[in-house]
Amino acid sequence: MKEFVISQAQTEKAVLVGLITRLQDERKTNEYLDELAFLAETAGAEVAKRFTQKLDMPNSVTYIGKGKLEEIRDYIAAREDDPETEIGMVIFDDELSAKQIRNIEKELKVKILDRTSLILDIFAMRAQTASAKTQVELAQYKYMLPRLQRLWTHLERQGGGSGSGKGGSVGLRGPGETQLEMDRRIILNRMSLLKQQLAEIDRQKSTQRKNRGRLIRVALVGYTNVGKSTLMNLLAKSEVFAENKLFATLDTTVRKVIIENLPFLLSDTVGFIRKLPTDLVDSFKSTLDEVREADLLVHVVDISHPDFEEQIQVVEKTLADLGCADKPTILLFNKIDAYTWVEKAADDLTPRTKENITLEELMQTWMAKIHDNCLFISARQRENIEELKELLYKKVKELHVQKYPYNDFLYQTYDNDGTPE
């Protein structure tokens, strides 16, 4: 049943397929395929080749054109005899319909994955707690339900009997139920059970949040693999799992942090990604409740990524969908140690591109745009961490005084004259 999910990290050769359309130029398609390659690598696959095609819009039957499909089929067929180069799967950079998967599989004779099923597979591999496992399982069933048809093409007959006296066993004749209907019913029952379990987990987490006392809640949000968990480990002196792979964090971790005399709660959340399926966002509602209930958001950005501005837009759109767009936010540019730029030659008269902008120019641009709510750091090299703590202290103190006007600080600080600050 879980044919869609690889569920074990095994090194299989994979081919990536993307489309260049009117809305998505070649540069953007290549960036998306880079991210898809990183996703495939995280899932345990090795990318052998990429195919792109220019089309006005995806083909409703096979996603790509007939000629390109034959080209991919010939590429796979040429390597099927050698176990070292054999292609085990083809991954498409968009969500495919059940009909498209069925038609492509019939032509290519290998496993077909789309972007959503690959993300689901990584989630299944990363899930550790009962809460995360339940959320991932629910998301998998939601994805599977409309695609069940292709799993049962060999069982179109009725399971009971045809009702006309033909084909049914004695004592089993009747209206019957197709295998497909039976599976759909089993999955729907399982989904309703998982939803009940998640509702119970929601209640438990809600109770936990209420018991956290009079503390301001700060949530680290951002695109996947920008360094949220590394920053969490640095500020909270905790040991949250952090790795240079996509979706290393699936479970929300909450730690108490004390800066000077001010305690507050810091939570590390699941990273966002472009083209994140809505079913997945719904399934991770209890994880994202930490973001909804936070008083202050720290939006972490990987400034060394060539397309970090689009990543900021993806996160802001997801936050808006969650109803968190109006929360106070600090924009935190991480990985300044990994930032690179290309110096233009003195005689080069072509217009400057993003690659020619220095880190100092970027800093000036963003600081002019959002003033105090912006900081540039390197969590790994511990650059500007003291400035970050000062900024966090200032912002959290403002919120703390508004929300809890009676002094709940660990100890009172005094200025040189001996008066309380």
How much is the pLDDT for 159? 46
Q: Phi-psi bin for 224: left (phi > 0), alpha (psi -120 to 50), beta? A: beta
**Is the four-CA dihedral 194, 197, 199, 204 of positive or negative sign?**
negative
Residue 4 has pLDDT above 60, yes or no: no
| Local structure of 206: helix, strand or coil | helix
Which range among 160-164, 201-205, 357-361 shows the weakest confidence by mean pLDDT?
160-164
pLDDT of residue 157: 47
Confidence of residue 385 (pLDDT cuts 50, 70, 90): confident
What Cα–Cα distance (Å) separates residue 41 from each residue in 46, 119, 128, 271?
6, 12, 20, 17
* 11 neighbors 47 (Cβ within 8 angstroms): no
pLDDT at 16: 92
Using alpha carbons, select from 209, 234, 215 the residue that is nearest to residue 397.
Answer: 215
Q: From CA 162, how far away is CA 176, in angstroms rounded?
A: 7
pLDDT at 2 over 50: no
Across the strands, what pairs with 89? 14, 111
353 pLDDT higher than 80: no
Among 257, 253, 255, 282, smallest CA distance to 270 is for 253
* In the predicted structure, residue 287 carries a pLDDT above the cut 50: yes
Q: Tens digits of per-residue pLDDT, 16-69?
A: 999 998 888 888 888 889 889 888 888 888 888 999 999 988 888 999 999 999
Q: 380: which 2 tokens? A: 């790994």
Greater model confidence, 157 or 297: 297
Terminal CA-to-CA distance of the chain, rounded, Å?
A: 63
Give per-residue pLDDT as tens, 197-243. 888 887 887 777 676 667 888 998 888 888 888 888 888 876 655 65
Percent of the chain's residues with pLDDT above 90: 7
Residue 104 has pLDDT above 50, yes or no: yes
Q: Is the pLDDT of residue 176 over 70?
A: no
- Using DSSP's 3-state secondary structure scheme, residue 394 falls into helix
> Could you tell me the pLDDT band of residue 373, with boundaries at 50, 70 and 90?
confident
Q: Quick check: 360 pLDDT over 80?
A: no
β 262-268/253-259 pair status: antiparallel
pLDDT of 182 above 60:
yes
Average pLDDT, the chain: 78
Q: What integer pLDDT is reported at residue 379 of this predicted model?
A: 82
Work out the pLDDT band at 158, boundaries 50, 70, 90.
very low
Q: How many other C-beta atoms lie within 10 A of the C-beta of residue 27? A: 11
Provide the angle, in degrees to the nearest 10, between the axes of the packed helices 130-144 and 285-292. Answer: 120
Per DSSP, the residues of 279-328 read HHHHHTHHHHHHHHT-SEEEEEEETTSTTHHHHHHHHHHHHHHTT-TTS-
Per-residue pLDDT tens over the stretch 232-256: 888 887 665 565 556 655 567 788 8
Which of 135, 68, 58, 131 minimizes the C-alpha distance to 93? Answer: 58
What average pLDDT does range 115-134 have in this prediction?
81
Distance between CA 242 and CA 157 in Å, rounded?
Answer: 50
Tell me the per-residue pLDDT of 332-350, one tens digit each, with 9 for 90 and over: 888 888 777 667 666 666 6
Distance (Å, whole) CA 114 – CA 105: 12
For the entire predicted model, the pTM comes to 0.76
Q: What is the pLDDT of residue 250?
A: 56
